[in-house]
Amino acid sequence: MRHIGPGSDPDKRTLRREFLAARSRLTADDVRESADALAARALASPEVAGARTVAAYVSVGAEPGTLTLLDALRARGVRVLLPALLPDNDLDWGEYTGEGSLARVRHGGRMALWEPAGERLGPDAVTGAGVVLLPGLAVDARGMRLGRGGGSYDRVLARLERADTRCALLVLLYDWEVVAHVPGEPHDRPVDAVVTPSGVRRFR
């Protein structure tokens, strides 16, 4: 585990640049191999193994790959929900029924995202998931997640809290992205576990 000392925390923007730079050095083979290992670890976890509905996302660029996992979940008969970014940065949801059900959508000048092409189910659809798989750049020993800074998943987590759901929150990362400490804010909600290519670590 890397140490980022709480007394000398770089700000979140600096940390994001650092983790994104590390990802940019990965080869396509690195990403593919990690995706296979990540899928195996996630599928073997009790949280995912017992879920009937999983809210996930389609990885882009050098993010830990998710398509292998999405297809394996579908093969198990799990209902998979994927996000669609709304103009206010909130997330709507649609069902994943295979790669043919995805559309590549560019939002302004940002990186293009793969989103569900079919029926929109509304932002509250996520509250019906037994597991929510979260993107991130790092997680610390308390389960506090460092996101990309857009606030979309802060809204998702707040929505889940208001609905008093009992879903499991899992963040998907590379092994080196589990660190000692990341800066937190009062509204931040810890995740239940991190899944990396080498295993699952639970925080509560």
Tokens at 85, concatenated: 């970014």
Q: Write down the pLDDT at residue 90.
A: 94
Is residue 67 classed exposed, middle or buried when 0-12, 13-18 and 19+ CB atoms within 10 A define those classes?
middle
Query: What is the layout of strands, in order, in the sheet containing 79-85?
Result: 91-95, 79-85, 53-55, 131-134, 168-172, 193-196, 199-202
Residue range 8-54, pLDDT digits in tens: 445 888 999 999 999 999 999 999 999 999 999 999 999 999 999 99
CB 113 within 8 A of CB 60: yes
Average pLDDT over all residues of the chain: 91
**List of domains in the chain:** 9-78+129-199 (3.40.50.10420)
| Res. 4: pLDDT tops 60 | no
**How many Å is the Cα radius of gyration of the chain?**
16
| Cα–chain center distance at 73 | 15
Residue range 91-144, pLDDT digits in tens: 999 999 988 999 999 887 777 899 999 999 999 999 999 999 999 999 999 999
The arithmetic mean of pLDDT across residues 68-94, rounded, is 96
Which parts of 25-86 fold into alpha helices (H)? 28-44, 46-49, 67-75
- Return the percentage of the chain with pLDDT > 90, whole number: 80
Assign 5 a pLDDT band (cuts: 50, 70, 90): very low
- Return the percentage of the chain with pLDDT > 70, whole number: 95
Residue 158 identity = A
